Amino acid sequence: MSKSDIERIKKIKIENIIWFFYFIIILLSYYSNYYEIDYFKNKNIISKEKYRKINIFIFSVLVIIYSYFEIDSISSFFDCNTSSDKSKYDKLVFIATSLVLISGLIFLYIACVDVDLEEEIAFS
């Protein structure tokens, strides 16, 4: 195996761990929806705060995950030893991961400051 293959396998193993965190995030999102429903049905302020805190946690974790992919895309983008085709794809991946990170930061901001639950937010 080449050095690049070994490095790619390491990244895949990290991605497998990230998939586990995504699974936890999905469960937490489902759980937070329970509190959101309780708040809107019963105006339970405690449920509202639990919903907000869970969402802040979810989007904080997502920003960390998105940052990992951003750092990886930056290193690939600035790798000078790549072909022109790979360089084109690296640029596209860098743009895509940057936009995903920006969206995660925006959703985290909304989760932190929208104390009245005016906006529905969901990770994607």
For residues 113 and 99, the answer to whether their CB atoms sit within 8 Å is: no
pTM > 0.85: yes
Chain segment 61-102, per-residue pLDDT in tens: 999 999 999 999 999 888 867 677 778 899 999 999 999 999
| 5-19, 27-41, 73-87: least confidently modelled range | 73-87
Q: Tokens at residue 20, please?
A: 């586990």
Residues with Cβ within 8 Å of residue 50, at least 6 apart in sequence: 32, 35
DSSP helix/strand/coil, 79: coil
- How would you classify residue 16: left for phi > 0, otherwise alpha for psi between -120 and 50, otherwise beta? alpha
Residue 124 burial (10 A CB sphere; 0-12, 13-18, 19+): exposed
